[in-house]
Amino acid sequence: MQQYDLFVIGGGSGGVRAARMAAQRGARVALAEAGALGGTCVNLGCIPKKLYGYAAHYAESFEESHGFGWSGPGPSFDWATLKRNRAIEIMRLNGVYEKLLIGAGVQLLHGRARLAEAHAVEVGTERFRAANILVATGGAPHRPEFPGQELAITSNEIFDLEPFPRRLLVIGGGYIACEFASIFNGLGSRVTQLYRGAQVLRGFDDDVRAFVAGEMTKKGVELRLNAGVASLQRVEGGLLARLRDGHPLEVDAVLAATGRWPNAGGLGLEALGVQRNEHGAIVVDDAFRTSVPHICALGDVIDRVQLTPVALAEAMTLVDRLFGSGRRTMDYGSIPTAVFTHPNIGTVGLTEAQARQQYGKLRIYRTDFKPLRHTLSMSTERTLMKLVVDDASDRVLGVHMVGADAGEIVQGFAVALKAGATKAVFDATIGIHPTAAEEFVTLREPVA
């Protein structure tokens, strides 16, 4: 039986990073993956979603070009070409991940793994022993329950949907639902989005939530709040959704984007006494140890912060503990994130509501404006920028933006927040003119 210092179950972002870094430190490492390498991010998440997001902007860009003197026949969109080119790029990335692992000396096993006993993993009919085992199996889309739910697709199937949906119903109000609503609206679908709550993007700053909902609606997404699907059935020409208010809605496809659950079933965790919480996530301590100390877990399967860069940082922290100095720690504070709606959202730090709970008096700086580009494009799109500041210390607690390239802009300000920058530091920074980003360092008067 082959012996390893680390056996990784799952070839997503966190698992691959942990395997590579451990092997580069001299550990004997094996990694088992039943599907394509790269996990959700590469195959069914961040990368293909952003590629489709780029595609969705072109029709709008062609329309806006008229204000800058461009004219000519409008473009046509070929869904098959986009799907084919995306698949080629994803296959290239799968190959890159494989080369990185093999180059680092990791033994790569193609198959579904499960824990057989305390220090043993089974992959197919083979059994492997390991001093440490890492579970990094990610998450999976959650399907809402209603009659006909099997007729809805999830974000796993949306990228290769056939034929292209001229009428798309999106169920959900989180970032995945909002992103796909924006994408398919931009590609030419008539999109209806239903969310059971009073406003989309729960957990984000309230000003951001309201602003992006308004911008998405202006661009053509029909957003229905406090709404949901009661049943779904196939009819001639498409699908018939019966809404909770009794109204019918006929569409070509239904996307259920109502969150993701940890993918921890069928791994043999229960037999070994590995604890999971009420949502199915594996419970770990600050060192990513489970209730069985030599079995570790990280990434979406522990359901702390479901972001690829977080899984990568968790992997680096774990490898340092197992095969390094052990001084590296994981800091979940001020994690920047972006939502690739149209327009984009970029955010880091506390929302206004969170800051009011944790601090005393605040100063809020907020502006919304028409970007320079749209003074000629004739687009009605606007940009929102907001700073949340602790009045006592002058420290900037939150930076929030809705607008073009918001993620690219907020990434730089995330460094400032991590360094503890004050509003005075922002004020003393010279802006780059003319840019949208300079607004963050020229906001002078707090709002009431």
Are the beta carbons of 132 and 7 closer than 8 angstroms? yes
Alpha helices (H) in 128-283, listed in sequence order: 175-187, 206-218, 269-272
Count of Cβ atoms closer than 10 Å to residue 110 Cβ: 14
Q: Strands of 49-196 (E only): list them.
A: 107-110, 113-117, 120-123, 126-135, 139-141, 167-171, 190-195
Cα 444 to the center of its chain, rounded Å: 33
Phi-psi region of 60 (alpha: psi -120 to 50; beta: other; left: phi over 0): alpha
Are the beta carbons of 372 and 434 closer than 8 angstroms? yes
Question: What are the contacts of 424-432 at 24+ separation with CB within 8 A?
Answer: 424/394, 426/387, 426/396
Measured between alpha carbons, how far is 158 from 237 in angstroms, rounded to an integer?
A: 19
Measured between alpha carbons, how far is 129 from 110 in angstroms, rounded to an integer?
A: 17
Q: Whats the size of the chain, residue-wise?
A: 448
Amino acid 331 reads D
Structure tokens at 63: 């329309």
Measured between alpha carbons, how far is 135 from 292 in angstroms, rounded to an integer?
A: 12
Q: Which residue has the tokens 């003319």?
A: 434
**SS3 assignment, position 424:** helix
- Look at the alpha carbons of 139, 144, 145, 151 in this order and tell me if their dihedral is positive or negative: negative
Structure tokens at 274: 């590995």
- Look at the alpha carbons of 223, 338, 37, 326 in this order and tell me if their dihedral is positive or negative: negative
Amino acid 234 reads R
DSSP letter for 153, please: B
User: Which active-site residues does the annotation give?
Assistant: 433
Task: Tell which residue, 5, 14, 27, 37, has the closest CA to residue 108.
Answer: 37
